[in-house]
């Protein structure tokens, strides 16, 4: 069963969508279930100014996507890189055991987006 | 909030008349039917009446052809393992289909590990089994063909009479899982010609925890569990008395009210037509040769569990073949077997109507679902919003 | 006519509070607990609560150690076949006793036919197992010892703690069938130390058709049937929801009212003493180390079924280990194993008290039974009238 | 389940007991279940004047004993010899399948009693 926090993020997902001409884009697929998540970044002075996500996946996948974008927004890239799947799950008040793998999508997509930004900017 | 239950293939509410009939068997008529005293005998008589009702419901010739079990799953297991045990010296080849319920498929696969050979008949894109393949698959050492009467996910009704015709030529037993058909379309063991048939009470407005295996007289089968002499030793253990009584009543009612499924089919078609108007939505299962209550569509670019949660927030109870809901890593084996891609199977939605589903319920769905699909597609990386 | 039910070891009436608790789960809370929508989730939560209550009732550490089944018979079969399946590569020797319920004994014997070795521990004239024999019987390839907590016919309580002590030295699993003890004497899996334990709802004023197997965390066991993912795949099939809810409630009540068994034991002793005053009547089972509700006597020169029918004519519901009632050709294997002659075993009478049995009921029996015995003995060729 | 007739014979068994100095005595044991039946005859002019039984056995055994004595009473020995187990069961309105073997006791015990009489009287 999902926590109230998971359901809140599912019901009112933060930062849904796409950023045109994003500074960084990260996409991951969940090998386990075939779900997909994409994260878009707008970075200024090393700080995540804007962040958006698109997710094809279960309730937990959508909620963790939403949560991770909320957690990353306003952070420096290095701070954001420290966000782990576990932290996202904790932020949501936990996930059912069968759904722990879903939380992997979120932090991984964020990481990829940051890496993409760094690569583009030769950092 | 409005609550619309459209998951009747998963389970149904108990019919008030069924519950009424069960009630005395908890506190008053509580004897053990195996006991020879009055408390036991009065119950044994009622169990026999329920057996007769179930037998009549599927047009079995003798009440003794009905063996009560704890549900459809156990009846399927009993049919497969029980026949395998009885006939293993005759042959060790079993035929099933790729779209069976796990109670059949996994039981067959476990026999495969024990040295039986298993052939799985494929299906076409509508979910119909390949009869030509079946015909070529029957061998001299084939002892059982088990093919479901209609599929629980996509609702496609199988040509069981044709299966029986093929089997009878070679003297092979046929078992069919009629859990989804009984109460929804006519289930007549004489007409079908099968040797074994599974039904389950909670799918026909009876109680959960009771089912039955029909075993045609003379069919060789052995019990697969051990204990007392109940169900002629084929299925030992103190009988679920109220459950069996309720099952008898539910079987009688569901056959008497079979007419109601016509209206169900009309509403089903309205729902299907309405859903197909949404862009990139496809029907799964056969368009006409399908259970009167079954709607199953694939909605591209969105995922089943998210869809179900969203529907649930609007009070609509539905189901999906999505991997995210199944606990397994792959989406529905049925949808994959019908040729759907992982992603398309992932976005499947099953709505199953019941005898009390109203036009209003369907209209509500047709108002809510397009809105939810739109919202979820806006979140999807697969589709530009 | 006065009706006195003294067959509580066969089954019990459902406690009013238990039925009350079950009722909403037929027509209102009818969702399938596997469904992810509201209708399903609200039921899943209640199933978990019932699991907790049952776990607490036997002092299990984790609710997940409880696996619901369709009854005691299925739980016994699951324990034996499930462990055998999981450990068959470790060893193929199983130990049981000669006085087990057929759900255990016949399951073990069927394994014997499949190549397992079986040792049956004998009992003394009181029905107590021979611990020294057991000690010598344990081997390196022994994988399971299954000995019942108390016998259903003669009520003798077995020294399970001693069994566990012997088993643990060799790292062997212990299963005990506690169907007759739960609710009648304390059943505490920590205190007993067993790895697996069977209970059944209808013996503790719960509904028929539901039981449970306790499996201590870490114990290796495999499911023996196939289907959906219910009960963590150890026991698939749609849950008997009202049954499980009722079982939870009954488990809680029976532990809370365990005190009542003291009065039961007093009435039991009064009944035993009264019956032993009849000429040529002998008690079967241990005089003190016995279930609080169990009375079992052998009445020489008369036959059990005739006795039961006569008692039934006076409204008294009882049971017998007579061959004439068992459907098999021999009288009770338990009585024979305790050294009774065929003829003496044939004339056995079991009266099992319940929590609502009154002094008046016992007095009525003590008035009626001597009269009936006298009448039947007058007909007997074995005894001069 | 037993028929009303079986229960009637069980409830009010006819001709229970023993005949002292009986002209013929027959005893049979049921190998199947260990039950025992004994029949005593008083014969005059080749006619069964009196007959009594004793039975250690189930309800069906007692009822069939009672029925067979009633059927035999007043018959000639030769007529009585023609009584079969099946006739006794029919007289009782039938017996449950699992209890058919019980009816064997009755006619067999009667036959033995008649044989005993004939042997004693060199017939
Ligand atoms: C086709 C089919 N077979 C078997 C079953 C299992 O029946 P039960 O839930 O009664 O064990 C179901 C339902 O879950 C089903 O739809
Ligand atoms: C000791 C014992 N084990 C197992 C069982 C079987 O339980 P159930 O009737 O619930 O299958 C019984 C009762 O019949 C019993 O007394
Ligand atoms: S991301 Fe697929 S199950 Fe959650
Ligand atoms: S005579 Fe023994 S069972 Fe009837």
Ligand 3 pocket member A123 (CB < 6 A): no
Average pLDDT estimate for B325-353: 90
Residue D122 lies in a domain: no
ipTM (interface pTM): 0.95
**Ligand 2 binding pocket includes C152 (Cβ within 6 Å):** yes
pLDDT at residue C256, as a whole number = 97
Asked if pLDDT for residue A13 goes beyond 90, the answer is: yes
Identify the active-site residue in D17, D32, D33, D82. D33
pLDDT at D33: 78
Domain that residue D92 falls in: 4-117
3-state secondary structure chain B: CCCEECECCCCCCCCHHHHHHHCHHHHCCCCCCCCCCHHHHHHHHHHHHHHHHHHHHCCCCCHHHEEEECCHHHHHHHHHHHHHHHHCCCCCEEEEECCCCHHHHHHHHHHHHCCCEEEEECECCCCCECHHHHHHHCCCCEEEEECCCECCCCCEECCHHHHHHHHHHCCCEEEEECCCCECCECCCHHHHCCCEEEEEHHHCCCCCCCEEEEECCCCCCCCCCCCCCHHHHCCCCCCCHHHHHHHHHHHHHHHHCHHHHHHHHHHHHHHHHHHHCCCCEEECCCCCCECCCEEEEEECCCCHHHHHHHHHHCCEECECCCHHHHCCCCCCHHHHHCCCCHHHHHCEEEEECCCCCCHHHHHHHHHHHHHHHHHHHHHCCCCCC
Give the confidence band of B385 by pLDDT, cuts at 50, 70, 90.
very low
Beta strand D36-44 with D47-56: parallel, antiparallel or unpaired? antiparallel
Residue B271 neighbours by CB under 8 Å, 6+ apart: B295, B351, B353, B362, B365, B366
| Residue C169 confidence class, pLDDT cut points 50, 70, 90 | very high
CB atoms within 10 A of CB A63: 33
**Looking at residues B327-332, what average pLDDT do you find?**
79
Residues of D in CB contact (< 8 Å) with B are: 1
Task: Give the mean model confidence (pLDDT) for residues C345-370.
Answer: 97
Read off the pLDDT band of C384 (50, 70, 90).
low
| pLDDT (tens digit per residue) in C64-78 | 999 999 999 999 999
**Measured between CB atoms, which of D27, D32, D59 is closest to C309?**
D59
Give the DSSP H/E element, type plus range, for residue D90: helix D85-91
Q: Report whether pLDDT(B327) > 70.
A: no
Q: Residue C383: its pLDDT value, please?
A: 75
Q: Which residue out of B179, B207, B285 has the highest number of ligand 1 atoms within 8 Å of its CB and is therefore the one to mutate?
A: B179
Taking contacts as CB-CB distances below 8 angstroms, the residues of chain A near C44 are: 1
* Distance between Cα C176 and ligand 2 center (Å): 12
Mean model confidence pLDDT for chain B: 96
D13 lines ligand 4 (CB under 6 A): no
Q: Is the pLDDT of residue B383 over 80?
A: no
Within a domain: A52: yes
Q: What distances in angstroms separate CA B361 from CA B69, B307, B364, B369, C354, one per listed residue?
A: 34, 18, 5, 12, 50
pLDDT tens, position by position, B116-164: 999 999 999 999 999 999 999 999 999 999 999 999 999 999 999 999 9
Model pTM above 0.90: yes
Is the pLDDT confidence value at A104 over 90? no
Interface chains of chain A (3 or more CB pairs under 8 Å): B, C
Residues of B at the A interface (Cβ-Cβ below 8 Å)? 301-306, 309, 313, 322-325, 327, 329, 331, 342-343, 346, 378-382, 385
Q: Which residues of A touch C (CB under 8 A)?
A: 1
Q: At what angle do helices A100-120 and A59-72 cross, to 10 degrees?
A: 40
Q: What percent of chain C has pLDDT over 90?
A: 96
pLDDT class of B1 with cuts at 50, 70, 90: confident
Residue B233, pLDDT above cutoff 50: yes
In 3-state terms, what secondary structure has residue C35? coil
Q: What average pLDDT does range A68-86 have in this prediction?
A: 95
CATH of the domain at A58: 3.90.1010.10
Look at residue B384 in the predicted model and tell me its pLDDT: 59
For residue A4, give how far its alpha carbon lies from the nearest alpha carbon of chain C (Å). 14
Nearest to C379 among D13, D34, D98 (CB): D13
Identify all chain D residues contacting C309, using CB atoms and an 8 Å cutoff. 2, 7, 10, 59
Min Cα–Cα distance to chain A from B344, Å: 11
What pLDDT digit, counting tens, does each position of B42-82 carry?
999 999 999 999 999 999 999 999 999 999 999 999 999 99
Q: For residue A123, is it within any domain?
A: no
pLDDT (0 to 100) of residue B322: 85
DSSP 3-state of C20: helix
C385 band by pLDDT with thresholds 50, 70 and 90: very low
Please indicate, yes or no, if residue A37 is contained in any of the structural domains: yes
Q: What ligand has the least distance to the C-alpha of C309?
A: 4
**Mean pLDDT score, B353-375:** 98
Q: Which residues of B touch C109 (CB under 8 A)?
A: 226
D33 noted as active-site residue: yes
Does a structural domain hold residue A122?
no
pLDDT-derived band at B360, boundaries 50, 70, 90: very high
D100 versus B68: the higher-pLDDT residue is B68
Q: Confirm if B177 and B103 have CB atoms less than 8 A apart.
A: yes
Mutate to test the interface with C, among D4, D33, D98, D101 (most CBs of C within 10 A): D33
Is residue D88 pLDDT above 90, yes or no? Answer: yes
Chains B and A touch (3+ CB pairs under 8 A): yes
Q: Which tens digits make up the pLDDT trace of B258-271?
A: 999 999 999 999 99
In terms of Cβ atoms closer than 10 Å to its own Cβ (0-12, 13-18, 19+), residue C269 is middle
For residue A22, being part of any structural domain is answered with yes
Instruction: State the Cα–Cα distance between residues C51 and C65, nearest whole angstrom.
Output: 9
DSSP label at C93? E
Q: How many CB atoms lie within 10 A of CB C136?
A: 12
In the prediction, which pLDDT does B244 show?
98
Radius of gyration of chain A (CA): 13
Q: How many distinct structural domains can be found in chain A?
A: 1
Considering only CA atoms, which residue is closest to atom 16 of ligand 2? C152
What's the confidence (pLDDT) of residue C252?
A: 98
For residue C325, the model assigns a pLDDT of 75
Question: Mean pLDDT over all residues of chain C?
Answer: 96
């Amino acid at each position: 069963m999902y926590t109230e926090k998971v359901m809140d993020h599912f019901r009112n997902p933060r930062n849904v969508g796409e950023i045109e001409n994003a500074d960084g884009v990260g996409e991951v697929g969940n090998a386990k279930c075939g779900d997909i998540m994409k994260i878009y970044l707008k970075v200024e002075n090393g700080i995540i100014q804007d962040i958006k996500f698109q997710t094809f996946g279960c309730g937990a996948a959508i909620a963790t996507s939403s949560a991770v974008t909320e957690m990353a927004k306003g952070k420096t890239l290095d701070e954001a890189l420290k966000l782990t799947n576990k932290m996202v799950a904790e932020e949501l008040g936990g996930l059912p055991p069968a759904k722990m793998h879903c939380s992997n999508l979120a932090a991984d997509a964020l990481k990829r987006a940051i890496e993409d930004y760094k690569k583009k900017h030769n950092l | 909030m409005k609550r619309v239950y459209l998951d009747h293939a998963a389970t149904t509410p108990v019919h008030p008349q069924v519950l009424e009939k069960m009630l005395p068997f908890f506190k008053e008529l509580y004897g053990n039917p195996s006991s020879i005293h009055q408390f036991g005998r009065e119950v044994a008589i009622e169990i026999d009446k329920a057996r007769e009702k179930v037998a009549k419901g599927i047009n079995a010739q003798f009440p003794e052809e009905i063996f009560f079990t704890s549900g459809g799953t156990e009846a399927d297991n009993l049919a497969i393992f029980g026949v395998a045990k009885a006939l293993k010296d005759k042959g060790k080849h079993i035929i099933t289909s790729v779209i069976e319920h796990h109670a059949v498929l996994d039981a067959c696969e476990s026999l495969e590990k024990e040295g039986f050979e298993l052939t799985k008949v494929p299906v076409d894109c509508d979910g119909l089994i390949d009869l030509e393949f079946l015909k070529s698959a029957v061998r001299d050492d084939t002892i059982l063909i088990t093919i479901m009467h209609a599929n629980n996910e996509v609702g496609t009704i199988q040509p069981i009479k044709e299966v029986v015709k093929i089997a009878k030529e070679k003297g092979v037993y046929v078992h069919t899982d009629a859990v989804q058909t009984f109460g929804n379309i006519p289930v007549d063991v004489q007409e079908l010609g099968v040797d074994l048939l599974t039904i389950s009470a909670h799918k026909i407005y009876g109680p959960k925890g009771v089912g039955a295996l029909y075993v045609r007289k003379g069919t060789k089968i052995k019990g697969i569990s051990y204990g007392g002499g109940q169900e002629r030793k084929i299925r030992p253990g103190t009988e679920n008395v109220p459950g069996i009584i309720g099952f008898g009543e539910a079987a009688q009612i569901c056959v008497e009210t079979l007419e109601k499924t016509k209206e169900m089919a009309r509403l089903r078609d309205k729902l299907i037509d309405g859903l197909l108007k949404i862009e990139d939505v496809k029907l799964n299962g056969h368009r006409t040769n399908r259970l009167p209550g079954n709607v199953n569509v694939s909605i591209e670019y969105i995922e089943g569990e998210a869809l179900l949660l969203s529907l649930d927030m609007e009070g609509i109870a539905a189901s999906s073949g999505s991997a995210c809901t199944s606990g397994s890593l792959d989406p529905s084996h049925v949808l994959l077997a019908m040729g759907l891609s992982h992603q398309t199977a992932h976005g499947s939605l099953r709505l199953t109507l019941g005898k009390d589903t109203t036009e209003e319920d369907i209209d509500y769905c047709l108002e809510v679902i397009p809105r939810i699909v739109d919202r979820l597609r806006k979140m999807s990386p697969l589709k530009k919003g």
